[in-house]
Structures are given as C-alpha cells and as structure tokens.
Structure 1
C-alpha cells in the first residue's frame, strides 16, 4: 500500500510541506549537499504536481513557503491545506501525494520544526567568557578517549563557538570526569585555539597542515599521540552537542557481548542558526540535561555516517584508523564505517544527535564530492598512521 493511503491525509500534508522546505531552504543543502542535490528532481516533480492540481489556495500557500521556508506558520498552512485536499479527494491527489512521499522516503533528508521554535534567537556573544571547566589532573587510565578534530580560521568563528559548546557539554556528564579523556587536535597552518580549548579539554594537540582540512589524518594524530590511552575510542566532530548521559550510555554499550563498535544515532539532527542558539543556551548556559526538541528546528540527515563513532581501540588499530588520503568534505566517514562493519560486530542505536550550524565548506563537482575518485575500502597504509610531521616538509 502506498504511504499516503496507509498513513492518511494529515501525514501526507506534512510530507508535502516538508518536501517543499527541503526544496527551498539553504539549510537543507548545508545539512548534506550530496543528498540535497539528489533530492532536487523529486522536489521539482512535486512542485509540478501542485501546479497541475490547480487549487488556488494550495498554490498560494506553496508560493508563501517557497518564499520563506523558515516560517513555521507558512509550513503549517501548506500542510493543513494539503491534508484537506487529500482528505477530500484521495484519488485526485494521488500523484501529488506520491510525489511528496517519494521525496520524504527517498531523499535521505527530513525536517522538524517545534512549536516553541524562535527563529529570531541569536547565539550568545559571550561564549568566549563562559566559565572554564578544566578537568582535574590525573594519570589514571580512563575508560574512554574522545578525539575531536578541529579547524577554524574564519572571521565568524562559528566552528570555534560550536567547539566550546561541545566541550562544555562534555564537561557536564553523569560519570566522573577522570573516567574519560578529551583530546582536541587542531590542524591548521598555525595554532589558534590552544588557550580556549584547554579551558575545557584534557589535551590540545597541534598538527600542522596548510592543505584542505583532513579529518582522517587529524583523528589518527589524536589517537596515536594522546597522553592517556583508553580501551574505548569516540571520534566526535566539534559541532556535536551531546546530552548529559552521553558518555555513560555509550561506554556501557560496549558491555553488550561481541560489540566492537557502533554509531549511537540513526538520523543526524542538523540545527539551523536559531535552533543552534537555543540548544546551546539550554544545554550550556541553563544547564539542562538535553535541549528540548520543541524549541528546535532541524534537517534530519537520515543514516548519516559521520559526526560520532564509537569503537574499541583494538578494532580502530586493526583497520589502520581513518583513511588519510581523504581531504576536504565527503566519504571519509562512510569509508570508516564500512571498514568497521567488515572488521567487527558493529551496531547502530537511535539516540538523538544534534549538529550545531556552521557555514558549509562542502563542495560538489558534477554532483559528486571532491573525494569521489578514492575507492572505498582501499586504505592500506605503508607508513604509521597519525604522523604529526606528515606535512611539515
């Protein structure tokens, strides 16, 4: 049975509104340019079906949402009108409904906007002055090692602000702070953020590179050169905003027999700028255990391979870490996940993972990422991984 017949008019109306937000909102493209590019044929087909249907009110609501895709009111109005149309004439709207569900189920992008979302909210301008939470000095072996690759040389400093929020959230956990070690590896042509990082993290490492950002090599450097070793590794992007139980919940998952690694989420919630400000305020300033989804707006990247991967140190070393040939955005995370799935029992959970907004650096050429020429599953290094001196000449 087709989704619009199985789930009914209300769900179908929302599918129409969601699909058109994905079509028009730049934030959907920033969440994942590759998936967004692949979805455009489907969203264009939906627009044609709405035009062919010939309902003036539905057409006007569509134009309103396309003009302002961030408006919750415009999204709600279009969803309500589409629901009413489907409810009144299921057969007459079959093509329109089918086009909407094709986008929602095939594009690998979804949409959420809460009733309490405030699109006017702005980031805390005082993020540099947040109270430092330096971990207590200890040399005991931790249970988990969290490695965060990082670079920010922009004027906006958005990624640096996100990193501080990420580190502040990691400093507010339900397990003792000495049970996990946080290493930030800054890879750049010059060190810029050491003092800021060490307000919150156990360790800052610098990996010189004047080339496009290489997440894989940067992560490998953090694993190879950390001051303290741990049996469990977490590769975490600096734009992640984790909840208070993040470390406890995920380290305990390794107690499940046979577990060598896992992803703790299925769909990545890519927040827009206002929602990022709300989430950071709730988690880092107000001290909530997790942000309230009702106050947030996000694009869901379905089955995203990146942002956060947990793996035993033994398994990470057995697959030679991340593939250091990848530079720039795209495919490096899926390559690691595929190799882990071949190497060990690899699980996937369904936690909510929040990605804070930043201007996208991703680029596509003819619809492909800059790394599309690199064969997946082909990493076979001939030298030790994570060499800090790799780009020093």
Structure 2
C-alpha cells in the first residue's frame, strides 16, 4: 500500500510539473548526442561497431517531458523509439516535443516502469535517466528493465549518490518535518522553502551546502520541487549499485562519464601516486576503484552507468590487436561539416587540432601535429560511411 501511495504521489507531482521544464524548440548539443548514441556504449562493451541491419529498438523508460527522448531520436537516426512514463501529462509534452522536431513514428505508453514487461518486446538500447532512485525498490525496476533488454542490448541508468547528495537529503528531512511534503507540493510550498532557506544564517551548514553554491537557481521554483521537496528520493553508494546490478543479473560496463571517475586523477600527479596507494590500487577491481573515488571525492550527483546482461565469458577490456586490413571509424556524431571545416583550417595553418572544441567527452589531449590530425579526414568523409580501410605494413 505504501508503495502505491508513493507512485501515486510521484504521478501527481509530475502531472503537475512535467520534468524537465525545457522549451519545446530546444535541441541537444553534440556532447549529449554522443552520450545517447548506441555506438558509444556498444563500443565500450565490445570494442567494435554495432552490427548494421534491422533498425534499433530504443526504450526511454521514464521519459518525462521527452527532452532525453529527443536526444535518443536525434543520436540514433532510423531507430524505433518507445517512450514510457507514469505521468500522462508528461507524455503529452513528450509527444508534442518529438512531433515538433519531426519524429512522429514514436510509441507512448502511460505505464509504471515496473510493468514494462507488458509491452511484450525487447529493446536494443534502454535509457532510464533520473528514475530509479525514486522507485520504492530500484532493484525491482532494474529487474523489469533487464527482462525487456535484448540479448546484446545496453541499459543506461543512474541513481543518486549517497555521498554527493547527503546535504540535500538532510534538507528534504527538514521540510518533511515541517509538513510541506504531506500532499503534492505546489508553488506555495516551494515559496515556503525558498523563504526558509533565505532566512537561515549564512553560517549554517545546510545553507552553505545546499543553497549558497546554487545562487543562480534561487528563483526557479521547479528546482525546489526536484530537490528540497522531491518525494521518494534516495541515495546509494557504488557497492550498493553493483549489488543492485547483480540482483538483476546485469553486468556493469562503465560509468557514462568514465574519465571523470578515474581515482588517479584525484592526485596532483596521476603518474606518480604514493607508493603504497599505487601498489594497492593495481589489485583493485573496477568496483573498488570507483568506491575509492567516491570516498575521496564526490562531485557526481548521479552514479550514471551503462550495463548489459551478465556474460558467460568476460567482455574484452582491451582494443583488439592490430591486424592487416584494419578498419578504422570516426564516431558518427563527429562526422559534421563544422568539424571538417575546423580540421581543414588546422591542417592549413599547421596547428594542433583541438577535438574538444567539438566534443568534451571522452577527454584527451589535442592532436599534436598536422600528420595525426590529417588522419581524421578520410575517417569521416572519404566514402560517407565514416570508415577507412587501411592496410598496415
């Protein structure tokens, strides 16, 4: 009964204020499209491009107002997209958004995530963004999603970090004790939160931790609802997330922003770690390395990850050995006229090519000379496929 009450509360909250509150005409930048492209996690898992053939089947589980659904549609041309949410009002906004941008062949289902099996189909890519931490039992939600994940499919999901969001959880408890979350919080309750936080002494820990760093959001009432007044919000640690994955028979692939989770980068010189730390780190599993990171430093609000079905054989963790007639590819999100123009300009001027002017992830150094940068041109535009067959000596 308590679980049904929470789900009903969430439904009413998002019927009242579909999330995220983003203008219908807004579009995604290349970083967002890179993250939502099936190619990115598939290559992280298999070190090869996805097979061509039948159109991808993509599920946006908990699509909200459809802003992420739009990224999935734009980043995966020709894919068949299914959007699911428990809020009918949110689905209406999502439908309007996708139609505005020309995506009309999309299915919408008013359904709780735990009942996704009722759709009766499997999906190659499942996106479950900003949802699991609100469920009464995220393990049940993960298991439901695993049940509709294709055998070689990829699931992207996330949960709130117990460490990074600790102060917000304290604030939520304060306003629960004040009775502001007994019903469905509206503008009156949000304004009470705003005035209370504003009136606190500037030296109080709660104000320092949750209010002062976010001065640019103080006039955004939605921000109060999604933080101080968010129903069902919970936090997790990396070991707890891995336990949830194991319970759903899912296998971790990597964090979505994996370069930002490298514990070595928390030291002044990542290449010269303290001897004891370097020695012990070499024997640590991916789970332990990630847990060390969050214990030392917790900047990530979300533990945001890709996973797949648990494999009988371990997936390759290193790129395949070089061999003759190797085929090289440029990520589809980088095959743009603007990138080509900047690349040709750098080559003409003999300057290093700054790839990160076009995409922030993955992080890397500029290509240091014209010869290396020039290798990108045939990868992206030689035959329209983003591939170059290069016999090796």
Q: TM-score band (shorter)? A: under 0.3
- Report the TM-score when normalising by structure 1: 0.25
TM-score by length of 2: 0.25
